Structure 1
Amino acid sequence: MPMIIPDEVRAKAEIYTGDAAGQEKTRLLLAETELPSGLLPLKDIIECGYVEETGFVWLKQKKKVDHYFAKVGRYVSYAAEVSAYAEKGRLKKITGVKAKEMLIWVNLNEICLDDPPTGVKAKQMLVCKAMGGLFRTFPVEAFEADVALPAPVTGRLKKKTETETESKKGQDDKKEEQKEAAAAAAEEEAAKKKTAVDPAAVAPAAVEEVDLKMKELNKEAPVQAEAVAAKN
């Protein structure tokens, strides 16, 4: 039976269409909940919706996907329509996800991190729970994507990235202002030096002026001597 998302839920949701946007939103969801990056290996996503207020998320793909997690030897089947409520370290009230136990497919209703792990060297474990209290634990790294995926840039992570970019830009602008201020100060200092009196430049003129005064004094000296003699 097709999943029906009520209009009031869709009105509050961030909705993305197309596989590219859906894949990116899926990576964002796993990054924000701190769950392993390969936990939702969906293909040909048609629609992805997320309600931040409640954490409700739904994903629609063209057809179901059966994925084999080789590191734990488990098959997991993802229906054409998958939904869950997402929170840090947990997907709960899951629909559309089944895990194969021996020859039986078991509906999973919760996947969460076993946090904190016990023991100093204990590995982080992922707990997969089914109805009736059945659960299995596996190492988290077994569900990491085999190939490094591009970092998500939409939603809140994009806002964070933009904030970091703006911060870096502000620092660069401040450095540029400091450089400009230093350059202006250097130009002002150079201008002052240019307009200041250079002692080396005026020295010859000063010496010449002293010589003239000495000559005038030498001319006046005999006259003053004669005047003194006449007075005596």
Structure 2
Amino acid sequence: MQASFDAGCLLSLGVLLRLAVAAMNYEIYCMLDDPCTSSEVPSITQISDATGRYGDLRFGLSVASVVFSDLCCYLVLSHGIKESSHLETLLVTSCFLDLLQAVTTSFKYHYLPIQLGGLAMCLTLLRALQLLGSAARVSTLWRVAVGLFAALCVDLCVVAALHNHWAPVSLSHWASWTALEYLGLVLYTSVMVLIASLLPPAVVKCHWFPRLVPVEQRKSLLPQHLKRVSTPKGQQ
């Protein structure tokens, strides 16, 4: 018997679970260690590292959430939008760099896969929004997604500038790059959830391997999908 999941719900679940794990790791790190007693906000790398008390638990949860989120992202976006070789290439690159940064938290130059992965992720989201916009799906949700995506790009640029000491000293006193890093994760999650709601109706079927099947005349779990699927009997 095959289990099936709505593609939009699965994509949203992946990114929301990743955000929840980051929040959980932050609480574990701050409750059981001393760094959070200072004014400096720990980075996502610090709360996901295997060092310190319960480090193995935090690291394992982080890697598992990244793997699950990236699998959902690739499975849904690579087939949920009309064929695009550029999108698939960007997806593979983004997911690879994301997984690389998740498993190399103790690497000296860990910021390199993070920043390169952030760039690849932004290009992936840009391409996905372009495809959804050109597919006559321009709506209020699409415009909100574009606005949040623009805010995400600005946030990541500021984070990179502060972390790499490219920004003026006055800016570093005004904003903390670690706090903006969490804001970026929230913005990314929001954009992905909105994209999930704008995707063409489809179902992910799990047998030996998961596969995505477009919805034609069957019900979908999302109400907005249901409206687009239903057609008068005389037109079938």
Report the TM range for the smaller structure's normalisation: under 0.3
**Which one has the bigger strand percentage?**
1
Question: When the two structures are superposed, what TM-score results if normalisation uses the length of structure 2?
Answer: 0.22
Question: When the two structures are superposed, what TM-score results if normalisation uses the length of structure 1?
Answer: 0.22
Higher relative contact order (CA 8 A, sep 6+): 2
Question: Which structure is larger by alpha-carbon Rg, 1 or 2?
Answer: 1
